[in-house]
Amino acid sequence: MELQVRSDNGRPVVEIAGRRPELDLVKLSTYSYSLLLDGRSHHLSIRPDRDGYLVILRQQTYHIRLRSELDRTIEKLGMQGATGGGGGQITAPIPGLISEVAVKEGDTVAAGDRLLILEAMKMENEISAPQAGTVLDVHVAPGQAVEQGALLVRLEVS
């Protein structure tokens, strides 16, 4: 199911499966929230997870993965696998500018760990490790422009 969140004059607007429910969310503690949804009160827990969030609502656990408009465009173009090449080669899914490199040669990474940030179309795109491994080499540096398909990082897959 797709949930869209956007801003309308500074106020968040939520759309779930084409419907706009009335809602109010109040943070109670670090991971605990009170949700008023279409006049009904619910308690929910939201905890960060490796590639999104775990949401517990009415004793059901849901895994939520956040995707930007860019993520959806990449999927529509059939490029979602572009960041992970064969043999642990991580390539640029789109042209952009490297704004951060979070790993160095010899680092051990888990699947989902941040490798670098690629800025494109005024958005920061986190490039993550597709699987666990050791960084063999890093082919980019902050401030460097890259083209689509450029080699960013090579991993020795565990």
In a 13 Å sphere around the CA of 141, the CA atoms on its Cβ side amount to: 0
Q: What confidence category does residue 135 fall into, taking pLDDT thresholds of 50, 70 and 90?
A: very high
- Lowest mean pLDDT segment, chosen from 3-7, 46-50, 113-117: 3-7
**What's the pLDDT score for residue 1?**
62
Q: What confidence category does residue 50 fall into, taking pLDDT thresholds of 50, 70 and 90?
A: low
Q: Containing H/E element for 67? A: none
Task: Measure Cα distances from 109 to 26, 39, 97, 157 in Å.
Answer: 35, 45, 23, 10
The tens digit of pLDDT for each residue in 55-76 reads: 888 888 887 877 766 766 766 6
Secondary structure of residue 71 in the 3-state scheme: helix
Q: What confidence category does residue 103 fall into, taking pLDDT thresholds of 50, 70 and 90?
A: very high
Q: What are the residue ranges spanned by the domains of the chain? A: 3-64, 82-157
Q: What confidence category does residue 47 fall into, taking pLDDT thresholds of 50, 70 and 90?
A: confident
**Under 8 Å between Cβ of 150 and 124:** no
**What's the CATH number of domain 82-157, 3.30.70.890, 3.50.50.60, 1.10.150.120, 2.40.50.100?**
2.40.50.100
